[in-house]
Chain A
């Protein structure tokens, strides 16, 4: 595992940003060319949303992977989080601008439709996280930063619930996301190895 970690350390963070951002314009382009099918708006909305969920799962996996497998992805965690936020913003913009379009209906949807309410709450909770995703904030907030960024946990659960609530009939995929996220949160409960051991490895 040490060798893997050494190799990972050599990967520059900017390459993660670059790779992670590529699908955003690419999917939009596919929507324009008709390669997302005859209803590109819904498809794009779904693609961006699901990518955000996948990134959330990755972000939440960083700590358990280190704790239980010794795999160290800490260096990339901020990039994964910021990318996740970028896809949430893209998802929201597609919904606002291309899908619903009508301001009164947007407001009505946010208030009346639980899955949209849940999604909007998750988005609002992400705002302080995105705003403090810089080194200056980490320094300035000190231990408060760690506490603040535990908001990631409710964000992830709400994100998955948002998906579970919106599908028709009994569908497996959103439940798999919810289960993965809950599992990754349970793995954070204070079981062995103790926190001090992790600190020592840092």
Chain B
């Protein structure tokens, strides 16, 4: 927990033309945010970690508060008011309170993280996030002795969220992490993608990104963070505990009851692309496997 995460995933030296403009956006965006120095020397990336396009990332979303269709969030999320925005941090913390989003931004250092993103529906993307480590935010609030879990809540504002007219899930959307997962250096609070502020459909202004877990754990548009000593209820687990466990770590060996998790479809690869094998912990096994030492991942899925 002591070390900070060093990013090794960068776009390849030679960028295919299709992704060229995305690179331009990242670099321009970082320059705009005074982060150009973070780009550093561009290293050759491992294999296929070329980020998806801006269009892929912003038009293919699951944000059921705006509808269950993949394009619904892009169509309707513009209605969500994201400024002003505050996050209530409460429970077992030294400094509970309503933290203004701008105030949080002022205290945090924004960096870029290029992560694989694997949805429980067996599709995946690579997303260049901008954000800060959740650990930094939790340390700012002061985690008290006895805290074991972190609970998160998404904004629930029916007048701006047409999808909440249906009880697809028990609103507001809730997620949770064990404290050691929350403090892990890979766990990010994202505020942007491609060097730009998060679009509403991607969970503006502040969302969680836990790259080794299925996407639904990476809760969007967060308004509340609660430190607690008990495993918090989480939305998909409440809806269907047999299908969605509290941990929901990406695991090619544990199938969803209704579909295989062994392979995935890479978004944006077109009509004739082959499925790709899903990696244990979504490729972050080396970093996170120790968190689950001794656990039976087929039972605690």
| Residues on A facing B (Cβ under 8 Å) | 31-32, 37-44, 98-102, 105, 108-109, 112-115, 165-172
Scoring A43, A105, A168, A172 by chain B CB atoms within 10 A of each residue's CB, the highest score goes to A168
Interface size class of B (residues with CB under 8 A): 20 to 34
A169-B70 CB under 8 A given contacts A37-B60, A42-B265, A102-B275: no
Q: Is the C-beta of B293 less than 8 angstroms from some C-beta in chain A? A: no
CB <8 Å contact, A102 and B263: yes
* CA A165 to CA B259, docked complex, whole Å: 12
- Contacting chain A: which of B34-42, B107-115, B266-274? B266-274
A115-B68 CB under 8 A given contacts A98-B272, A170-B168: no
A40-B271 CB under 8 A given contacts A165-B258, A167-B68, A169-B68: yes
CB <8 Å contact, A38 and B258: no
* CA A169 to CA B263, docked complex, whole Å: 23
Q: Looking at chain A's contact residues, is the secondary structure mostly helix, strand, loop, or mixed?
A: helix
Nearest Cβ on chain A to B191's Cβ, whole angstroms: 23
Q: Looking at chain B's contact residues, is the secondary structure mostly helix, strand, loop, or mixed?
A: loop
20 more contacts with CB within 8 A, not counting A38-B53, A38-B59, A167-B68, are A32-B271, A38-B56, A38-B60, A39-B265, A40-B270, A40-B271, A41-B265, A41-B271, A42-B123, A43-B70, A98-B272, A105-B263, A109-B259, A109-B260, A113-B257, A169-B168, A169-B236, A170-B168, A170-B239, A171-B166
Residue in contact with A114 in the complex, picked from B56, B239, B258, B272, CB distance below 8 Å: B258
Scoring B64, B168, B271 by chain A CB atoms within 10 A of each residue's CB, the highest score goes to B271
CB <8 Å contact, A101 and B275: yes
Cβ of B168: which chain A residues have Cβ within 8 Å of it?
Answer: 169-171
Q: Is the C-beta of B71 less than 8 angstroms from some C-beta in chain A? A: yes
| Residues on B facing A (Cβ under 8 Å) | 52-53, 55-56, 59-60, 64, 68, 70-71, 121, 123, 166-169, 236, 239-240, 255, 257-260, 262-263, 265, 267-268, 270-272, 274-275
* CA A32 to CA B60, docked complex, whole Å: 17
* CA A37 to CA B267, docked complex, whole Å: 10
CB <8 Å contact, B258 and A115: yes
* CA A176 to CA B68, docked complex, whole Å: 15
Scoring A38, A105, A167, A169 by chain B CB atoms within 10 A of each residue's CB, the highest score goes to A38
* CA A13 to CA B46, docked complex, whole Å: 57
CB <8 Å contact, A98 and B271: yes
A101-B169 CB under 8 A given contacts A113-B258, A169-B68: no
CB <8 Å contact, B259 and A113: yes
* CA A112 to CA B257, docked complex, whole Å: 8
5 example contacts (A-B, Cβ-Cβ < 8 A) are as follows: A37-B59, A38-B268, A39-B123, A102-B275, A168-B68
Q: Please name the residue on chain B nearest to A43 by beta carbon.
A: B70
Q: Please name the residue on chain B nearest to A114 by beta carbon.
A: B258
